[in-house]
């Protein structure tokens, strides 16, 4: 990722092929409390993330390192989200689905050594 530093600003140029808008905004959300951040659609291949009006005592190397690490983490979170969304939906749907216990029919054969067919028993 190309990075340009200036006395009171830093520009990061993450590639669109690697980082989606969702990843960028979820990551940059956490920087909004401390920094003035702008996301610019730079060109066909890159966004520009601009940290501007940085105070003179800003530790720029640490900020750069933290942002690179956080972008990486949010990219990983995005992979989990993309791959598991269906399972999560299924999990929540199953958890809150209404099931009448009387309607549950065992999907395996049940045998009983005493000799009666449990499925023939009406409740």
- Of 25-44, binders to other proteins (CB under 8 A) are 26, 29-34
CB of 61 to other proteins, least distance (A): 17
Residue 74 in tokens: 């949010």
Query: What is the C-alpha to C-alpha distance for residues 31 and 15, in angstroms, rounded to an integer?
Result: 20
| Contact pattern for other proteins over residues 67 through 106, marking x by CB under 8 A | -----xxx-xx-xx--xxx-xx-xxx-xxx----------
For other proteins, give the closer residue by CB, 42 or 77: 77
H/E segment holding residue 21: helix 21-29
Rounded to whole angstroms, how far apart are CA atoms 37 and 54?
10
Q: Which is nearer to other proteins, 13 or 31 (CB)?
A: 31
């Amino acid at each position: 990722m190309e990075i340009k530093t200036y006395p009171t600003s830093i520009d990061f140029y993450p590639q669109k092929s690697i980082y989606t808008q969702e990843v960028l905004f979820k990551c940059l959300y956490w920087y909004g409390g401390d920094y003035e951040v702008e996301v610019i659609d730079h060109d066909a291949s890159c966004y520009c993330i601009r940290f501007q009006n940085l105070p003179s005592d800003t530790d720029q190397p640490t900020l750069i390192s933290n942002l690179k690490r956080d972008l990486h983490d949010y990219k990983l979170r995005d992979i989990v989200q993309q791959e598991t969304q269906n399972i999560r939906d299924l999990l929540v749907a199953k958890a809150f689905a209404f099931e009448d216990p009387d309607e549950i029919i065992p999907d395996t054969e049940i045998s009983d050594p005493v000799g009666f067919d449990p499925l023939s028993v009406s409740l």
